[in-house]
A and B are shown apart, each in its own frame.
Chain A
């Protein structure tokens, strides 16, 4: 039991719609990072939040945005969905910003865009 929970676990959207994915971090962790994992690929870093501020971003367009709340839970928002956004979205929590410790992943939210 990692303590990181994500919701929803599965969802289907149509092209052009918007989606919000949620993540509850492990207790005591103040950093959350989001990853996109396409089928058969490794995770791709989207962004990281530390104490409610974005402190790192991967090569994703601005329609991917996020929030971290005072209780360190987090949201990933994706606007104007495209077919290629279909993937598993993973949230990982950790302590501190340097990522030299273990990341604790949630089970992921599998998004299908039709």
Chain B
């Protein structure tokens, strides 16, 4: 079967750094996405990794290791508005997105 694991919930402090991990086992791999979803809203795109390594985009960075079936999303200089769920999704061999359950990130002042 296909499986994507991420922590259910994490808590961090405003201004700090947090790393949200994602491990996956899928039938094939054509890339990994991170999306942000605020409560009651639609998911919005954060990043797409298809090659190993770190992709940096402002305060957000995403890392991929295909051999380990592992990715993380790194958020720096946390702001209260970063409180949201972070969804990891893998594009399988049929180019269908398989989604994790999401990590709810709580930012405290």
A-to-B contact residues, CB < 8 Å = 2, 4, 33, 35, 40-45, 48, 56, 58, 90, 97-108
A42 touches B101 (CB 8 A): yes
A100 touches B43 (CB 8 A): no
- Asked if A41 meets B102 with Cβ closer than 8 Å, knowing A90-B42, A105-B43, A106-B42, the reply is yes
A43, A106, A108: which has the most chain B beta carbons within 10 Å? Answer: A43
Chain B contact residues: over half helix, strand or loop, or mixed? loop
Q: A43, A99, A104: which contacts B99 (Cβ < 8 A)?
A: A43
Closest chain B CB from A35 CB (angstroms):
8
Q: Quick one: closest A residue to B6, CB to CB?
A: A42
- Asked if A42 meets B102 with Cβ closer than 8 Å, knowing A58-B96, A98-B95, the reply is yes
Query: What's the count of A-B pairs with C-beta under 8 Å?
Result: 62
B-to-A contact residues, CB < 8 Å = 4, 30-31, 41-45, 48, 50, 87, 89, 91, 94-102
**Contact residues in A for B45 (Cβ distance below 8 Å):** 102-104
**Contact residues in A for B102 (Cβ distance below 8 Å):** 40-42
Report Cα–Cα, A19/B31, bound state, in Å.
34
B50 touches A42 (CB 8 A): no
A107 touches B99 (CB 8 A): no
Q: B31, B94, B99: which contacts A44 (Cβ < 8 A)?
A: B99
B97 touches A107 (CB 8 A): no
**Contact residues in B for A41 (Cβ distance below 8 Å):** 101-102
B48 touches A42 (CB 8 A): no
Report Cα–Cα, A95/B28, bound state, in Å.
22
**Contact residues in B for A33 (Cβ distance below 8 Å):** 97
B43 touches A99 (CB 8 A): no
Q: B44, B48, B100: which contacts A105 (Cβ < 8 A)?
A: B44
**Contact residues in B for A107 (Cβ distance below 8 Å):** 41-42
Q: Quick one: closest B residue to A98, CB to CB?
A: B95
Report Cα–Cα, A63/B99, bound state, in Å.
23
Q: B4, B42, B87, B96: which contacts A99 (Cβ < 8 A)?
A: B96
B31 touches A100 (CB 8 A): yes
**Contact residues in A for B94 (Cβ distance below 8 Å):** 56
A56 touches B41 (CB 8 A): no
